[in-house]
Amino acid sequence: MASVLSEFSLEGKSALVVGAETPVGIAASTALAEAGARVMMASQDVGAEKQLKDAAKKIATNGAKIVVRVQRAAIRADLSATADLALKELGGLDILVNALDSPAYGPADQTDDSVFDRVIEDNLKTVWMSCQEGARVMLQRRGGTIVNITSILAHRGVPNASLYCAAKAGVLNLTRALALEWARRSIRVNAIEAGWLDSPSSPAVSQNEFAQNLLKYLPDNKLVSPNELCGALLYLVSSASGFVTGESIAVDGALLCRI
């Protein structure tokens, strides 16, 4: 493959996907494996083990090496062990994708502090810890690339989603700051902002009034499928984007242009 295509190839690379049980996590794991990477699918959701194993089996039919791991300890200890295990099982850790996502919608005046803690922990703190633990391993080696999946909610407000919006914006600026901190230490950190996703957990897919109005409002009248994030993902994790760090690519069908 003596063309520019080889720059997008992940042949010989090792990739850890945290939040691998989410629709984007499964799409990302599949894409990374198809592009040639050895992949560890990790989840903080103990109940997701069977789902992950089924997904891994499907991906592995192409001959890809896939390892599944679900949470065994408290989050910090678990993410730390996961990063070490990825290095051991895959023989390296070149790519970390944080696909964690825990949508949360509800009116602010009826939200108590425990919800704040949970939404911020699931959507922001876990990404922070995963970046720290992944980078710890990468810094001991030859560096790597990190991609955090966030949302276009990072840029604009949506009613009934204040904490979720805040967490997603947190992930975006966390990405920028870590990119600057590790720029001279061979770790690139970038993000992908998903538009309104066509996935079961999205408020955009049910038959309610919001979903129907939203579809009409979208510039191309289409929701974003998780697979459609994977072009940007392969660009950002591969050597094709060697001069890109602290950047975020929105996959939203021009929605941010309309606002």
**Closer to another protein by Cβ: residue 48 or 251:** 251
CA distance 135 to 176: 15
Token digits for 235? 């660009």
Region from 2-10, 46-54, 92-100, 143-151 binding another protein, contact rule CB under 8 A: 2-10
CA distance 18 to 54: 17
**Closer to another protein by Cβ: residue 9 or 102:** 9
Region from 46-54, 87-95, 101-109, 219-227 binding another protein, contact rule CB under 8 A: 219-227
For residue 212, the Cα-to-chain-centroid distance in whole angstroms is 27
Residue 136 engages another protein in binding (rule: CB under 8 A): no
Give the one residue of 51, 176, 211, 215 binding another protein; rule: CB under 8 A.
176
Give the one residue of 50, 118, 141, 222 binding another protein; rule: CB under 8 A.
222
Q: Phi and psi (nearest 5°) for 138?
A: -60, -40
Region from 95-103, 161-169, 177-185, 200-208 binding another protein, contact rule CB under 8 A: 177-185
Residue 245 engages another protein in binding (rule: CB under 8 A): yes
CB of 112 to another protein, least distance (A): 27
CA distance 111 to 89: 42
CB of 146 to another protein, least distance (A): 13
CB atoms within 10 A of CB 230: 20
CA distance 191 to 230: 12
Residue 195 engages another protein in binding (rule: CB under 8 A): yes
The CA-CA-CA angle for residues 198, 201, 202, to 5°, reads 50
- How far does the chain reach from its first CA to its final CA, in angstroms? 42
Residue 220 engages another protein in binding (rule: CB under 8 A): yes
Is 235 an annotated catalytic residue? Answer: no
**Closer to another protein by Cβ: residue 48 or 250:** 250
Cα separations in angstroms, 159 against 3, 107, 156, 163, 165: 47, 8, 10, 10, 9
Residue 224 engages another protein in binding (rule: CB under 8 A): yes
Of 172, 258, 182, nearest in space to 214 by CA: 258
Question: Contact residues for another protein (CB under 8 A)?
Answer: 3-5, 7-9, 31, 34-35, 175-177, 179-181, 183-184, 195, 219-222, 224-225, 228, 230-232, 234-235, 240-247, 249-254, 256-258
Catalytically annotated residues = 164
